[in-house]
Amino acid sequence: MSAPRMLPLRSPDRVVLFPDDLPAMAATVVATERASATLLLDDGGMPARMLHRRRGAVERHHDGRRFRGEGDIAMAEGRRGRVREDTIVFHFRPPSRRAEPRTNAVLPVTVVPLDAPLAPSRALTLDVSPHGALVRVPMQLDPGNTVQMHLQLPGEDLPIPAAGAVVRRTDDGLLGVHLDKMRPHDRDLVESWLRGNAG
């Protein structure tokens, strides 16, 4: 079994935490171990107890590059054994292709900006996973912008709704979107479709 892949992190790096099925949130690295990082959540973030035992991802942008690690979230112990509500420990785990199947997939999708004064736009995906997509869309969105997406899977009558944040934009206008809000049944549909169509 491969060792967990630790991101190049140190205090006081700024990162974005993506808990599964919850909104993304900003945090600051306060300590690191061989395969974990202790993160101080920004004010107004979700209490640590709501994040405990969830899976998720941590991303850091540095010198134009994006670093991402998957892992598990746990509450952090403070003084006198009390749990801290503003701090979590992120335990990195090895990437698993089976847990996160990916495939090149050109699928129709409607992108609805949630925090930018832009009209909804029809677009096409280039790559899809249960927690994200690479999208070619004719609108100007930046990393951090939040969007609602309606993905049309072949064989499904209704599009699958999901929401998340833009995490990267390529020089040729492609958007990488992390989808942290999707109904479990819909995520299972995407996962099943990917397993059946991944090359």
Provide the pLDDT for residue 98.
39
Provide the pLDDT for residue 99.
44
R_g (Cα) of the chain, nearest Å: 17
Q: Is the pTM of this model over 0.85?
A: no
Provide the pLDDT for residue 6.
57
Q: Is the pLDDT of residue 88 over 90?
A: yes
When comparing pLDDT for 180 and 100, which is higher? 180
Q: What sections of the chain are H helices per DSSP?
A: 48-51, 184-197
Which helix (H) or strand (E) is 132 found in, with range? strand 132-136
**Average pLDDT of 41-64?**
85
Q: What are phi and psi of 98, to 5 degrees?
A: -70, -35
pLDDT tens for each residue of 160-182: 999 988 888 887 778 888 888 88
Report the length, in residues, of the chain: 199
Burial class of residue 126 in the structure, from the number of CB atoms within 10 Å of its CB (0-12 exposed, 13-18 middle, 19+ buried): middle
What is the C-alpha separation between 161 and 22, in angstroms, rounded?
A: 15
Provide the pLDDT for residue 102.
60
SS (H, E, C) 9-37: CCCCCEEEEEECCCCCEEEEEEEECCCEE
